[in-house]
Amino acid sequence: MQPASRCPRCGYNLRYDRNGYRCDYCGYPNTREPMAAKIRRFEHDMRSRIESFMQQERAQQYQRMVVQNPSYTTRQRLCDSCGLRMPEGSQNCPYCDAVQNTTKPNPQQNLGTNVLQPGDQQVLDYIATHDGTISLSQASQDLSMSRSALGLTIERLKAAGFLKPA
């Protein structure tokens, strides 16, 4: 058995084989890519792939908050079948495709802008000016609202039918 020695590149223990001393960690004396560099490159690639995936997921999440009807001041009514809000005068529901009873409109079902609360119009205008894609943290700063208040407002607008549910 040959005496153990240290690699001059990395200090790792050298292994002796028929061809001489070899370092399993950095590849000494060969010029191949060191194992530590391979590991670092692999970790960097995995980290960048995960970050890219998470950014795509966040982008898709914010793209789901698209304004359903840009002219949100139009009057709406409830679907006779599924109960979701839809534009007044539609023959078929855009959600369940049920034929609507348009002969006898119910004035209690018509929903105008009176559904909006004081900050809702400001949030709708902000979403509309940003093409339906917003960052909650940036929007809360721009609108001078807390993130929780902005989240509640967005959920209320979704429930009222002004924003498409995710």
Say if 92 falls within a structural domain.
yes
Q: Supply the pLDDT for residue 3.
A: 55
Instruction: Give the separation between CA 55 and CA 12, rounded to whole angstroms.
Output: 39
pTM more than 0.85: no
Same domain (yes/no): 95, 148 = yes
Q: What does the pLDDT look like over 10-58, one tens digit per residue?
A: 888 888 888 888 888 877 787 667 778 889 999 999 999 999 898 888 7
How many angstroms separate the CA atoms of 134 and 128, rounded? 10
Rounded CA-CA distance 132/121 in Å is 14
Please tell me whether residue 123 adopts helix, strand or coil conformation.
helix
Number of domains in the chain: 2
* Residues 84 and 28 placed together within one structural domain of the fold: no
In order along its 166 residues, the chain shows pLDDT tens digits of 455 688 888 888 888 888 888 888 877 787 667 778 889 999 999 999 999 898 888 777 666 655 444 444 457 778 877 777 787 777 888 878 888 876 544 444 444 444 577 778 888 888 888 877 888 888 888 888 888 888 888 888 888 778 876 6
Residues forming beta bridges with residue 23, ordered by sequence position:
14
Tell me if 51 sits within 8 A of 118, measured CB to CB.
no
- Which amino acid, one-letter code, is at 122? Q
pLDDT for 45 equals 94
One domain, residues 156 and 86: yes
Which structural domain, as residue segments, surrounds residue 154? 76-160
Alpha-carbon gap, residue 140 to 143, rounded angstroms: 5
Return the DSSP state at 115: G
